[in-house]
Structure 1
């Protein structure tokens, strides 16, 4: 099914209104959408980032988009105008996201993705924090090359068929892999409970390198709509460890990966600047 056909199935009046609101806030169509996950809301703060945003607002001000309630997520969005050698890009950044574990269905979870598409987004970069299933180090950042959807849900209903084999854009993922410490497969669970030791072993045996409770439904929605998708996942918990998972420590470790995330953002913007202007 072509992106235009998917759009006719999944885009509603609220999505179009939210997209128009983003365009007005940005002063025109946006080219790039970014979602900052757990502990990464401050990734663009500081002098080494993109400076002050050109505009800002609340995610929940967009029709159909809910206020994030998870720890480390903020009900805020920013608009940046980022100059590249090729052109100036309008970038919309969500400082949080809505999760299935909050009790919502796939519709609210993917509402920002639909709004960003309606605002013109051509590229989406999704970030999150993960529980690592390999012998990696806390703070490593993984370029997401594939995913396993163990959530038991989909952003689509009916005869809307998508081949997800190319969900994660190979070119963008390859560029991210050059700045990230790792590259691999992200397993998506509904949550909110973390996985058991047996579940961790099962996921690792199935080929997953890390596990989390977000991102995949957004990626599927963006991909179905023809947006090029890439992702970075921060190792913030060692799922093979015998120690109990500490949610506060997860956020702290994710925040320390900020420099790598910034480098990844710049790489993606460089690629996006080569697209049609």
Structure 2
């Protein structure tokens, strides 16, 4: 391991951001009617979570995520190429109805493009959501507040001598709010995908202290943390990884959709906390 002090987010070099990110940030500011406060990314099966939410206002604007320079249209099932802006509790919020994944083969840069644009638009907080395969004896539809992560993708959103301190990647104060709402709290592991893990990999992950596993979220969290954005996350138990039946992707989406009420409660608690 290289010697030297780990860098803090405030010390990060400006080369993480490019002109496309700044242009995307300008578009988000225009759409939101001012600088953003919060970025929300809705994961698999959660794209329509806000459509029937009585406490959420009508969106200020709707646009394609791919209208932002450098941001690709999501292609995964249950992900939509749409981004909305809202005014909620006095805060300007951008909500992405899906995300780009590493398994699409474009590398980490496009996966984190929306995160960079949101930072350029002024976002100080981010709420990342996803669906997971659970390694514990939990119930389908439970929502886990993400307290930490393990990166098993073999890649990073950074290149070069960027030695980021990740011990505080998941903001403790924001996560504590989610722990008070979600049924579970624990560690999320990310794999590249698109294949699901083998039984041997499942046993290895469980033995390593992982609670849930998926194919997203961590690249965004790392980039946002490096840029000084406070990050928290919720992960829906949508598959039991120790089950004997093969994983059914459509069933994963159905179960994730049933967790909407908890996701909405978590968002409301965070956005009401100022």
Same fold judged by TM-score > 0.5?
A: yes
1:33 alignment partner in structure 2: 39
How many Å apart are 1:2 and its aligned residue?
A: 4.4
Moved more, 4-13 or 100-109: 4-13
Superposition TM-score, scaled by structure 2 size: 0.96
Contact 1:133 1:204 in 2 (8 A): yes
Q: Does 2:69 match 1:63?
A: yes
| Deviations, residues 126-180 of structure 1 (Å, cap 9, x unaligned) | 0000000000000000000000000000000011110111100111111101110
Contact 1:7 1:225 in 2 (8 A): no
2:188 alignment partner in structure 1: 186
Contact 2:71 2:110 in 1 (8 A): yes
Task: For residue 265 of structure 1, give the secondary structure of its aligned residue in structure 2.
Answer: helix
Superposition TM-score, scaled by structure 1 size: 0.95
Query: Which ranges of 4 or more aligned residues in structure 1 deviate by more than 2 Å?
Result: 1-7
Counterpart CA distance in 2 for 1:106 and 1:158 is 14
Count matched residues.
268
Cα distance change of structure 1 residues 7 and 264 upon mapping to structure 2, 3 Å threshold: farther
- The partner residue of 1:267 within 251, 254, 269 is 269
How does 1:111-190 map onto structure 2 within 5 Å? 111-190=113-192
Root-mean-square deviation (CA, aligned residues, Å) is 0.9
2:3 alignment partner in structure 1: none
- The partner residue of 1:207 within 206, 209, 229 is 209
Counterpart CA distance in 2 for 1:7 and 1:270 is 33
Contact 1:109 1:218 in 2 (8 A): yes
Structure 1, unpaired ranges of 5+? none
Structure 2, unpaired ranges of 5+? 1-6
2:222 alignment partner in structure 1: 220
| Deviations, residues 235-267 of structure 1 (Å, cap 9, x unaligned) | 000001011000000000000000000000011
